[in-house]
Amino acid sequence: MQMLKLLNVYNLCSLFTTFTEKSSIISRLNKLLKNDCKQLIIEDFNLHHSHWEKWRCFTRHTMTDILLNIITNARLKLLLKSDIITCEAYNQFTTIDLVFNSEKIQFMTRKCKIQIDLHQRSNHLSIITELYLQTISVQFLTQWLWKKMNTEALNAYLQIHLSLKHSLDDKTMMNVRVCKIIKVLQKIIEKFIFLTKSSNWARNFWNQSCFKVVMKSRWLRIIWKTQDTLEAWNEYLKHNDHKNKIIQQMKCTHFKTQMYKLSKALKLIWCFAKWARIESQLSKKLSQFSSLKWSDINHMTTTFEKKIKILREKFFFSSSQANVSNIAKSFISLTVSFNSRITEDEVKQTIRWVKADKASSASDISNRALQASLAELISVLMSLFNACIIHKYHSKQFKKTQTIILHKSKKSNYINSKMYRLIALLDIMSKTLKSIMIKRLSDIVETHHMLSNAQMKARCKQFVISMLDLLIDQVHTV
């Protein structure tokens, strides 16, 4: 992969033709140019020279000699044909907008010319430059805007496309039913819920007030573009100034709030001062997976393939059968009668009890989708869950998990694979059925006293106080 360096330069027009100040952009251009990379320069130099103006050049700036030396040393070539008019102002026709490219990019240049239909209310004519490039698509983190979904349209779509008439008589029909439900839910998510992507320009001070003034400013700009009147232009400028004031006010408020919080914590203010002094001017570093150490040797691995191998050996090892011969066997002969049929209330309570934005599996179906379409899905899910109990079968789709590796928090370093842990994301319908069965089994076990009083873990209404009371009773008994 090679990088294309694009420089967009604007040189301030000087009153003196012999202006050669070292701080000017022309003087600093030499540091930015390199001979070993592909470069494209688009510039508004505000300089006149016979090299690009020929017979219309009546004045010559001394700074053009510096510019020509820089262009010659960097082996740049003028893309626009000489003597092409790029600016029309005060009854004068000049060529002060230029485009240069390096030798390594000349074969990639398709065209470079004046484009009249791209005129943008300026004295400068628009220049279009096209290159033959193979770009790499940048992947942004996307998320669903669940709060803006159309619930009525979603339920209407489900009512039409989720007409399941076939009965669940065997395991094959159950797997087909689960796949059909998942596909329909994925379609309504893509159809009725919008996607948003993260922005590099997102700021913490942004709120609803900033959003409203920006949207109104955009709308007034569209009106001005459409009507092209002086009143629309003045209205747009007036509101644009108001927009800048609101955004600046929110920036100051957010900055003062953060500084107030820092002033209350002495440790944080020194960390902030260190960051401002050392790292504030640096570009944001990309997050990288830490190097890992092999368990038997002190060799550090840096390649991605070796890191995967270490984590696979750590978490996905071949398990051996446990030896239970030394455990005393005990059986409880107890007959328990209960209603095995799952009711609508159980399904509704479980779906509403689970968090709406709980992490979903590879199917990308959130519990918020089930909550929004509960009126149409309740009968379908109830028949499916009852079929799972009757046939004593768990669908293949329910068993598919998405395993994610997370690092444990508050560790000094992460070079050891023991500093990581796994989480398995299940399908949301599988979670619903699992929660219903766990609640039922828990109620049966607690009602019939099938567990010992010494069992504290994974039991409802068992706290540390209960454990201490049990320990005190055992001490007094002894």
**pLDDT at residue number 15:** 43
**Averaged pLDDT, 135-156:** 76
DSSP string, 147-186: GG--HHHHHHHHHHH----S---SHHHHHHHHHHHHHHHH
Mean pLDDT over 174-186 rounds to 91
Kindly report the pTM of this predicted structure: 0.58
- Highest mean pLDDT range out of 19-33, 108-122, 160-174? 160-174
Q: 174-202 in b/e burial notation, b at 16+ Cβ within 10 A?
A: bbebbeebbebbeebbeebbeeeeeeeee
> For position 441, what pLDDT does the model report?
87
Whether residue 386 has pLDDT greater than 80: yes
- Residue count of the chain, please give it: 478
Mean pLDDT of 465-470: 77
Q: Helices marked H in 285-337 — which ranges?
A: 304-315
Name the DSSP letter for residue 358: P
187 or 296, higher pLDDT: 187
pLDDT of residue 475: 83
- The string of pLDDT tens digits covering residues 35-63 is 656 776 666 767 777 677 665 555 556 67
* pLDDT, position 19: 44
pLDDT in tens, 196-248: 766 655 677 888 888 889 889 989 988 888 888 889 999 999 999 999 999 99
Q: 277 falls in which pLDDT band (50, 70, 90)? A: confident
Average pLDDT score over residue span 82-103: 76
Dihedral sign (CA 27, 38, 110, 54): positive
